[in-house]
Chain A
Amino acid sequence: MSRIEGVLKTLKGQGRKALIPYITAGDPHPDLTVELMHTLVDAGADIIELGVPFSDPMADGPIIQQACERALVHGTSLRQVIAMIKQFRTSNDTTPVVLMGYLNPMEAMGYETFADAAADAGVDGILTVDLPPEEADEVAPLFTARDLDAIFLLAPTTTDERIRSISEHSSGYVYYVSFKGITGAGKINVDEVAAKVAHIHEITALPVGVGFGIRDAETAAAIGRVSDGVIVGSVLVDTIARNQADSDQLKRALTDLLHPMREALDGLAS
């Protein structure tokens, strides 16, 4: 059982929902990323999605675009991001880490080299925004062979036939993109999400995490009620941007944001 599967199974057994924060590695500075990952865990994260900065993040809104730019100023590379996870693992071997990013940095590193390095560092899952399963036939077997979960996106526009085939290619969880748009746009419609996630649950047994548009305890609880976990990105990245000058203040701000979400999600269980 993969670390992701284990964590999600335990949560399910407890009637709890997964809290999955996203930050961009290297933002605001590469030296701070591992500390911030620990901060997220302390504030209640069950799984961390760590973004790999890319020069052309086509699916992201301005908040994550700027995070990528801040990280790239310091030359944050995929190899360095993997090294950060290796360092994180020296004091945490329980919290799953999913690398989230775009395909080209992986392609440039070489898929086999990348898969080896990721597995060695203790990465648990790979989510490549611009890689639908149709194009993954070269890379997916490399992940499977190393027990790396391949996490694919589902969207409001995904047909039933595709939900089925994408789920067959996925392990760990599937990531449901809550609305048609880019990250940070914030136009989530809870009823629509509830209906679609219920429908996805009819087609696949995989846990469904929902991301895009979750910005506070209230939306986290509303979406947590209808899914297996919530993914929180832009609002955290925006907090990093606003507190980048002072790392202690930044950690407090991230905790202040995440902790109420944790409590709201756990409130659903009782």
Chain B
Amino acid sequence: MKLTEEMLSALPDARGHFGAYGGRFVSETLMDSLMTLEKEYLRLKKDPDFQKAFDEDLAHYVGRPSPLYFAERLTRETGGAQIWLKREDLNHTGAHKVNNTIGQALLASFLGKKRVIAETGAGQHGVATATVCARLGLECHVFMGAEDVKRQSLNVYRMKLLGAQVHAVQSGTKTLKDAMNDAMRDWVSNVDETFYIIGTVAGPHPYPLLVRDFQSVIGRETRAQAMAQAGKLPDALVACVGGGSNAIGMFYPFLTDESVQMYGVEAGGLGIDSGQHAAPLCAGRPGVLHGNRTYLMEDENGQIASTHSVSAGLDYPGVGPEHSWLKDIGRAHYVSVTDDEALDGFRKLTRVEGIMPALETAHAVAYAMKLAPTMDKDQMIVINISGRGDKDIHTIAQLDGIEA
């Protein structure tokens, strides 16, 4: 399907649907808040003061634009297409997550909410939320699966230093989905005074819309930088997909450019056939969780399946509804790489470019290393380097049998 600006501007529709996906599947208590948020956001989206505040924060607080960097040595070693890196890892707090938390915290301020909650997997979104809350003087509560609290202890401490309260979630699988459940429970209990900053491009409408809008700065910059530095649009974009916020931010501004191929890389864990993965778009089916209809990992009875990934940030059984739609219409390709391949990607980028990516990001690196040799030397791949890898050093060291 050829997408046009007109088609894209009609999505999501008035009820928050992207084709069959998205929507607003929440208990009644939250409906009024979501409808107010939608109304206010649609108003502020057109408000020059709001947009100016957002742009200035991105420039002076986050440090945007982030560079588009030609990875010459990685390109040479991989062979095939030129590999370029969009350096979201250089943002303040070290990942793309802050683009969205700046936007949503501004919304919270405009709505007069003093208390902020967030869920987090790897801790990057939690850190980015705690950061903007520290800056704006907002009370901050971060929900994080107890399992993830263990494997991302550095980020837990960062959040605490920033003044956030970190709630270790003991229910269910003790990972990101359970953190999101508990964040929703907190929200319903404190709905009047609380703003929920959702970290990924999923959840009930209008969250997939506003997260996509705030993250689209990634793709807009990449588009302009590619034209300025390479004199053309990229031939392929590669981004990792957990919930899919960095990927949608990279893809969205290119959706009407037919020549640009898009690859969302899911966590293949121990391999799709093992069942131990977190790849709903590659191996799941549509269902309803966390307020939206989207591809999910579930059993035959509709119970949500447990997931596995070496990277906490991709360890989630659902995905943003716009990705589900892009998959169905064939505009973006969704693929997976295993834990081992991602670790190879991590080591490769670290050793040949001196850039240590997050384990989430390493999935995109690993796939790009497979893709590049299938393409011509004059073609161009952009990998979204969504975050830096400092937080994962413990995990890597453990895998290497080193006490770090």
Contact = CB atoms under 8 A, between A and B. Distances in A.
Contacts of B185: 58-61, 182
Interface string B237-254: 000000000000000000
A157 B191 contact: yes
A155 B35 CA distance: 15
Interface in A152-178: 152-159, 162, 166, 177
Interface in B187-230: 188-192
Interface stretch (B38-46, B142-150, B286-294): B286-294
A181 B304 CA distance: 23
Given A104-B289, A105-B301, A130-B291, A181 B189 contact: yes
Given A107-B288, A152-B28, A181-B188, A78 B15 contact: no
What is the interface of chain A mostly: helix, strand, loop, or mixed?
loop
B177 interface: yes
A106 interface: yes
Contact of B177 (A56, A57, A72, A155): A56
B185 to A, nearest CB: 5
Contacts of A222: none
Contact of A103 (B25, B32, B177): B25
Nearest to B178: A56
A135 B188 contact: no
A210 B39 CA distance: 30
A130 B188 contact: no
Interface string A115-136: 0000000000000011110110
B396 interface: no
B31 interface: yes
B172 interface: yes
A39 interface: no
Interface of A: 54-62, 65, 69, 72, 75, 77-79, 102-109, 129-132, 134-135, 152-159, 162, 166, 177, 180-182, 185
Interface of B: 15, 23-33, 171-172, 177-178, 181, 184-185, 188-192, 286-291, 296, 298, 300-304
Given A132-B25, A157-B30, 19 more contacts: A58-B181, A58-B184, A59-B29, A59-B184, A78-B302, A104-B303, A107-B302, A109-B302, A153-B28, A155-B27, A157-B32, A158-B31, A162-B31, A162-B32, A166-B28, A177-B27, A177-B29, A182-B185, A185-B189
